[in-house]
Amino acid sequence: MSTSSVLFDLPGPRARRRQRIGTVVGLLVVAGLVALALWRLGSNGQLEGSRWAILFDTRTNVPQRLLSALVDTLKVAAVGMVAATVLGALLAVGRLSDHLWVRIPVTVVVEFFRAVPLLVLILFCLLFLPVIGIPTSAFFALALGLTLYNMAVLSEIFRAGILSVDRGQREAAFALGMRKSQVMSLVLVPQAVRRMLPVLVAQLVVLLKDSSLGFIVAYPELLRTARSLVETLNFQFGPIYTFQLYVAAGVIYIVVNVLLSWLARVIERRTQRSAKAAAVEDVELPADVQMGGGGGAITKV
Amino acid sequence: MSFLAENWPVLRDAFLTTLSLALLSGLFSLLLGTVLVAMRVSPVAPLRGLATFYVEVFRNTPLTVVFFFLVFGIVQIDLSFPSRFIAAVSALSLYTSAFVAEALRSGINAVPPGQAEAARALGLDFGQTLRQVVLPQAFRTVVPPLGNVWIALAKNTSIAAGFAVSDLTAALTRLSNANADELALVFAAIVVGYLVITLPSAALFRLLERRVAIVR
């Protein structure tokens, strides 16, 4: 059911009137909610221009701090993205291996890291590694946690992509006398990559979302920076800029994510247009993957 | 073993907090998600727009940011939740309902158009079509994606620990300070706590999927 218009007829005059009333009422409700929010903000003086101006006032160091927080956020996400993609690819190949002694440990590793909440993994890296003599920092723990969790998720995405290539391709490659490694690298992976790209990018967006967990382990990402800025500014001016800084941090997160999601959609459209990927069907991204913070454990057995 | 015996009350309470967080948020997000998806397919344009906006915003917002706003943000506009637990349930429900709505919408899209057309031809109106024909079928096809959402939700409850709710993850930080020498055991206990929720759920959803699946 691709169009929802099947659910209702082309409206007749009476239904059109009803819908118009519904539209007006709906608009009024929406406008009412917006007005209520604005009124509450306004009655607290949160809408005054001077309060928002601090976000752009370079003398207070606020824009610089927010910018560096954004850079720090992107930095940890970038490290996680690269490491998780590389390790995920290795794990996927390992899980598809013909050798039992490779396949079973890799499967256990993947299933374990998918089953544990991301925050627990990050805390593990932060609290446990120093005990066994590995020095750690908030950045390291966050990056390692993001990597471990996302490599498991990505390896499942890669595996699904490789398995989704028509088996005739694989059989034909073997029939041509290629070795296992050649079949994988020359035939299966190039076709699978086109299929996986949109899902891969979407998962990387989720990784960026999850880097906000740095707030909890005191890594100076956007939220943590906003919080510490609020503390210093409250000390200087009293608690008048709190709401503005929180909103700024939240909005920056949302804007960056929306931009990346938009990039994912562009890539998806491009892959679909490319002639070589003509046979690619839509790969629906499972909701658990999109939700971040810990994927699902339902695997098709 | 003495560690488990000593800290059993803490672990049990933390486990129950996590479980009730997950169950309550699951229930509320299912309700809110259903309302959202009904709005998204409705003939009234502002409702459609509102639901689409909601889903897009929450899908692109980190859950930590949602928590952050409900805990630290809304105090600034003179609103507040009676307890951190309720704030956590609200944050989880608001966030998860966007994903429930998306899962349900993919389910509605999977119902063959002929079903809705037949319902319309029999003279059922929008509400009846949705309630009696489309949604019952949609709910069945979305059992696996909803199961995934539920499991992700169960694990996402761990973020509440960062906002002073004493769930399993909070117990982890608390116990690891007190039992530095038995850290591996602490982590094992906490991980088992989460697995006790997620693994049976996964099995249950697989069973449910087999039971209700419609062969097309």
The predicted model gives B184-188 an average pLDDT of 85
The span from the CA of B84 to the CA of B26, in Å, is 17
- Percent of chain B having pLDDT more than 70? 97
Residue A157 has pLDDT above 70, yes or no: yes
Does residue A218 come out as left (phi exceeding 0), alpha (psi in the -120 to 50 range) or beta?
left
Residue A283 has pLDDT above 70, yes or no: no
- Percent of chain A having pLDDT more than 70? 86
Q: What are A2-35's pLDDT values in tens digits?
A: 444 566 666 778 878 888 888 888 888 888 988 8
Give chain B's domains with CATH numbers.
2-212 (1.10.3720.10)
- In the chain, the amino acid numbered A283 is V
pLDDT of residue A42: 80
| Model confidence band, residue A86 (pLDDT cutoffs 50, 70, 90) | very high
Query: What are the contacts of A58-61 at 24+ separation with CB within 8 A?
Result: A60/A233
CB contact under 8 A, B78 and A27: no
* Segment among B2-6, B10-14, B157-161, B196-200 with least mean pLDDT: B2-6
E-only strand ranges, chain A: none
The span from the CA of A207 to the CA of B62, in Å, is 10
CB contact under 8 A, A243 and B43: no
Selected residue with higher pLDDT from A168 and A55: A168
CB contact under 8 A, B63 and A293: yes
3-class SS of residue A299: coil
Q: A36: burial class by Cβ within 10 Å (0-12, 13-18, 19+)?
A: exposed
CB contact under 8 A, B161 and A119: yes
Residue A122 has pLDDT above 80, yes or no: yes
Tell whether B15 is within 8 A of chain A (Cβ). no
Residue B216 parent element (H or E): none
Q: What's the whole-model pTM score?
A: 0.83
The predicted model gives B122-130 an average pLDDT of 84
**In B, which residues are within 8 Å of A20 by CB distance?**
none
| Model confidence band, residue A278 (pLDDT cutoffs 50, 70, 90) | very low
B-chain residue closest to A37, CA distance? B77
Residue A200 has pLDDT above 50, yes or no: yes
- In the chain, the amino acid numbered A267 is I
Tell whether B171 is within 8 A of chain A (Cβ). no
Assess: ipTM above 0.85: no
| Model confidence band, residue A106 (pLDDT cutoffs 50, 70, 90) | very high
CB contact under 8 A, B63 and A1: no
Cα A292 to its chain centre, rounded Å, is 6
- A118–chain B nearest CA distance, Å: 8
Q: What are B38-76's pLDDT values in tens digits?
A: 888 877 777 888 899 899 888 888 898 899 888 887 777
**Domain locations in chain A?**
55-274+283-291
Look up the CATH superfamily of A55-274+283-291.
Answer: MetI-like (1.10.3720.10)
CB atoms within 10 A of CB B83: 11
CB contact under 8 A, A127 and B173: yes
Of A30, A46, A257, the CB nearest to B46: A30
Tell me which residue of A117, A58, A156 sits closest to B191, measured CA to CA: A117
The span from the CA of A289 to the CA of A157, in Å, is 10
Q: B56: burial class by Cβ within 10 Å (0-12, 13-18, 19+)?
A: middle
pLDDT of residue A2: 41
Residue A169 has pLDDT above 70, yes or no: yes
| Model confidence band, residue A280 (pLDDT cutoffs 50, 70, 90) | very low
A114 Cβ contact partners less than 8 Å away, ≥ 6 residues apart = A149, A152, A153, A156, A294, A295, A296, A297
Under 8 Å between Cβ of A152 and B190: no
Average pLDDT over all residues of chain A: 81
The predicted model gives B90-118 an average pLDDT of 88
Question: DSSP per residue over B131-146, as a string?
Answer: IIIIHHHHHHHTHHHH
